[in-house]
Structure 1
C-alpha cells in the first residue's frame, strides 16, 4: 500500500468519525433550544419545572458530544499540512477563507456562547440565557455553511482563476452561492435534524421501557423527537433527489455510476477533457453506500411517521415492541449519514479539486513509514474519543435527569409535581 493510500485511509477514517460528532451536535442543539424556549415562556410553575429539567437533561448530552467532538475537529486541521500540502498550494487562496471563518465561528463564537449558556444557569436573566442557546444553534449552522462552501469548491470549483499553478479567488459571490454547496447544506441540515430527533425519541423510548416515573418529561421529549424526525426525514429524501441534477451537470462520472449506465461514455469524455487516466471511482462502494443511505432514509421516515401517529392517546406507549424499535433505530441515521459522506467524497475521485487537482498531485510526498505511524496514531486517538463520547452519553442517558449536572449551581426542579397537581403536567 502506497503512502498516498495510507493518507487517504487516515483522512477518511478521521473525517468519518468526526462527522458522527457533528451530525448529532447539529441535530440536538435546535431541539435543546426549543425545549429551553418552551420552559422560558411557561408561566405555570409545575410545567416550567418539568421543561427546565428536560432542557438540562438533553442539554447535558449535547454538551458532552460537543466537548469531545470539538477535540476531533481541532486535530483534523493538522492533516492538511501533514499529508495534503498540494491542496494548500493550489487552492489555499480560495479554500483558506471559508476554513478560517469556520474556525472563528465554531471555535470562538459558538464555544463562547455555549460556555456562557452552560455557566449562566441561575446567573443570567431568562431572556439573555435563552438567547445564548439560540446563538449556539445559529453559529453551529453558520459553521456548517462555511464547511460546505469549502467542500463545495472541491466538488465544483467556481469563482476562481489559475495563475502560476495556483487558484485565486475572483468572484466571492459565486463561491458563496455554489449550488454544489447549498443543496448539500440543505440535505445535511435535514439529515442532522433527523439524527437529533431519532436520538431524542430513542432515549425517551428507552426510559418508558424502564417504566420511568418522569412520564411528563419523556412524553414531551418523545413527541418532539418523533415529529422532528418524521418531518425532516421526509424532506431529507426529497432534497437528496434535488442533488442529482447538480451532480449530473458537474460530475458526470459520479452520476453515471449512480445511474448504473454510461460509465464508458463518461470515461471517454473525461479523457478528452483532462487527458489519459482512470476516472472511474470505486463503483461497488459508491452504489452500496447510496443504497444504504436511501434504504435507511425511507425506513426511518416511515417508522417515525407511524410512531408519531401512534402517540395519539398514548397508543405508542402501550406497545413495548414499538418502543424497542425506536431504541434500535437510534444508530440508523448515523449509518446513513456516513453512507452519504462516502457517496459525496468517493464519487469525486480521482480528483481532490474536481477537474483541477488530483489526489496524487495533492499528496505531500511523506514517506510510507511516517504516514503509517501517523495513520495509526490518528485513527487510534479518534476511535478512543468516539468510544469515550458514546460511553459518557450512554451512561448519562441511562441515568436520566437525576444525574444531570448541567446548571448544578442552581438546584434542579423536583422530579414529581406536588400532590394534587398531577393533571397539570400530563401533556397529551
Structure 2
C-alpha cells in the first residue's frame, strides 16, 4: 500500500478505537448527573450507590479516552501536515479549543468531583459534575465543528496556499456540524443506556441480591436507550437528506451531472463514494429499528417486575452490549468514507493532504499507534468489565475519606 492508503488506514483504525471511549463517556455523563441529582433531592442511599458505581466505570472510560485522544492528535502532524498547513486556521482552531476545554474545564471539575466526596457540600459537589457533563457535550460540539468544516466548508476564503476565516459564525453554525451533533448525542445515549441495561442483565442472570439496584439501572438504561434511538434515527435521516441535497456524490444521487462538473473543475478523478456506503446506512437503520421493536419487550416486562426471571431475554441484553458500539463506529466510518476523495469537500483532495513522508515511515507509525490503541481498548474494557462484574459491593469512589476517618475515630474512643 502507498503512503496515502496507509495514512487513511491508520487514521480510520485509531479514530474508531478512540470513539469507543468517546461514545460511552458522552452518553454516561448526563445519566450519572441524573442519578446524583436524585440522591441530593430525595436523599435515598440507593441513588448514592448508583452514582458511585456507574461513576467508577465513567472515570476509567474517561481516563483512557483522554489518553487515546492525545495519541490521536499526533496523527495530524505526522501524517496529515498538508491539511494542517492548508486549513489550520479553520480546522485546527476548534480542535485546539477542544483540547484546552477538555483539560482545563472537564478534567479539572472531574477531579473535584472524584476527590470531593464527603469534603464538599452535596449541592456544590453535584454542580461540579454538571460542569463535567456540559463540558463533555461542549467538547463533542467543538470536535464536530472541526469535522463539519471538512464535510461542508463554509466561512473561508483561500489566500494562496492557505485558508482564512472570514465568517466565524458560519463555521460554528455549520449545518453539517449541527446535524452531526444532533445525531451523535442521542447515539451516545443509546450506547450508554443499553450498556447500563446489559450490565444489569448480566447481574440478574447470576442471581444478584441487589435487585432494586439493578432493576432501577436496567429501567433507566432501557428507557434512555429506547428514546435516544428515535432521535438517532431522526437526526440520521435529516443528515442523509441534507447530504443528498447538498453533496450528491457522497451517496450517488445525481451523480452523472455532479461528477462531470467536478471533473471539469478539478480534473479527472473518482468523485463517487464507495458503493457500500448506502448499504452501510441501510444496515445502521435496520439495527436501530430492531432496537425500537425489541426493547419494548423488556421495558414492558420490567414494568411488571418479571424481567429478572427471563434468562433468555437477559442473555440477549448481555450479548448485544457491543452492538450499539459497532453501530456508532460504522456511522462514523460512513461519514468519513462518504466524503472521499476529498479531505475538505470540493476544496482539498485527500491525496494532497497527506504528509510528504515515505510509506515505510507511515507503516511504522501505523503499527505503533494501532498496537497502543489495541492495548488501551483491551485494558479499558478489562477494567470496566471487572468493575461491572463486582457490582456495587466493591465501591471505591467516595470511600477514601470514610476509610481514613474510621480507624482514627476508633483510636480516639479507645483512648
TMscore range, shorter length: over 0.9
Deviation (angstroms), 1:232: 0.5
> Can you give the 5+ residue segments of structure 1 that lack an aligned partner in the other structure?
413-428
1:404 counterpart = 2:395: yes
Name 1:302's counterpart in structure 2: 293
Cα distance between partner residues in 2 of 1:406 and 1:83: 40
Deviation (angstroms), 1:273: 3.6
SS for the counterpart of 1:400 is helix
Q: Which moved more, 1:145-154 or 1:394-403?
A: 394-403
Q: Is the 8 A contact 1:300 1:332 kept in 2?
A: no
Deviation (angstroms), 1:97: 1.6
Q: Is the 8 A contact 2:343 2:350 kept in 1?
A: yes
Name 2:406's counterpart in structure 1: none
SS for the counterpart of 2:340 is coil
Deviation (angstroms), 1:368: 1.2
The 5-angstrom pairing of residues 97-246 of structure 1 reads 97-246=93-242
Name 1:328's counterpart in structure 2: 319
Q: Is the 8 A contact 2:189 2:228 kept in 1?
A: yes
* 1:206-261 residue CA offsets vs partner (Å, 9 max, x unmatched): 111111111111111111111001101112111111112320233211132xxxx6
Q: Is the 8 A contact 2:251 2:278 kept in 1?
A: no
Q: Is the 8 A contact 1:158 1:175 kept in 2?
A: yes
Cα distance between partner residues in 2 of 1:315 and 1:181: 43
Name 2:10's counterpart in structure 1: 10
SS for the counterpart of 1:311 is helix
Cα distance between partner residues in 2 of 1:339 and 1:311: 30
Name 2:70's counterpart in structure 1: 74
Distance change (3 Å), C-alpha of 1:288 and 1:410:
farther
SS for the counterpart of 1:310 is helix
The 5-angstrom pairing of residues 255-294 of structure 1 reads 255-256=251-252, 262-284=254-276, 286-294=277-285
Name 2:368's counterpart in structure 1: 377
SS for the counterpart of 1:278 is coil
Name 1:38's counterpart in structure 2: 38
Q: Is the 8 A contact 1:227 1:305 kept in 2?
A: no
* 1:63-112 residue CA offsets vs partner (Å, 9 max, x unmatched): 11001111000111111111111101110111122111111111221000
Deviation (angstroms), 1:318: 2.7
Deviation (angstroms), 1:410: 4.1
Q: Which moved more, 1:247-256 or 1:9-18?
A: 247-256
Deviation (angstroms), 1:309: 2.0
Q: Is the 8 A contact 2:33 2:133 kept in 1?
A: yes
* 1:173-228 residue CA offsets vs partner (Å, 9 max, x unmatched): 11111000001110000100000000000001111111111111111111111100
Cα distance between partner residues in 2 of 1:379 and 1:292: 27
> Can you give the 5+ residue segments of structure 2 that lack an aligned partner in the other structure?
404-415
Q: Is the 8 A contact 1:159 1:169 kept in 2?
A: yes
Q: Is the 8 A contact 1:229 1:301 kept in 2?
A: no
Cα distance between partner residues in 1 of 2:120 and 2:39: 15
Q: Is the 8 A contact 2:110 2:128 kept in 1?
A: yes
Q: Is the 8 A contact 2:157 2:163 kept in 1?
A: yes
Q: Is the 8 A contact 2:251 2:273 kept in 1?
A: no
Question: Number of aligned pairs?
Answer: 403
| TM-score in terms of structure 2 length | 0.94
Q: Is the 8 A contact 2:193 2:222 kept in 1?
A: yes
Name 2:349's counterpart in structure 1: 358
Deviation (angstroms), 1:342: 1.2
Q: Which moved more, 1:180-189 or 1:239-248?
A: 239-248
Cα distance between partner residues in 2 of 1:279 and 1:292: 23
Deviation (angstroms), 1:266: 3.6
SS for the counterpart of 2:400 is coil
Cα distance between partner residues in 1 of 2:356 and 2:225: 45
